Amino acid sequence: MTVEHSMQSSTIVDVLEKILDKGVVIAGDITVGIADVELLTIKIRLIVASVDKAKEIGMDWWETDPYLSSKAVENNTKNLEEVNQKLLERLESLEKKFDTKTV
């Protein structure tokens, strides 16, 4: 008695690997209305892809989102430091002008 295995079957891992490699886009719209009056429209767009595939198609928003990326926090901190420094310089300049006018 021998057991034969089918070589054609795909495991969930194989299917997931193909989806992540190629990507899948799911799109849909939900509209809520009463008596032919549209009250609310929700547009849903979902893409399922690997990080590499998403970057390849230009979707890398998570790299600049401060809630998802430490790089974004570092960049934001640097930007805030620059802005603070410029504001301090401006304040000092205004204080000097004010001091010279009142003397």
Pair of tokens at residue 80: 């805030």
Domain housing 14: 10-59
87-102 tens-digit pLDDT: 999 999 999 888 866 5
Residues 101 and 94 sit within 8 Å (Cβ to Cβ): no
Number of domains into which the chain is organized: 2
- Does 14 fall in a domain? yes
Pair of tokens at residue 21: 């490699």
pTM: 0.41
Q: Which is more confident, 95 or 24?
A: 95
- Does 1 fall in a domain? no
Same domain, 21 and 41: yes
31-83 tens-digit pLDDT: 999 988 889 999 988 888 888 888 888 888 777 777 776 665 666 677 788 88
The pLDDT score that the predictor gives to residue 72 is 58
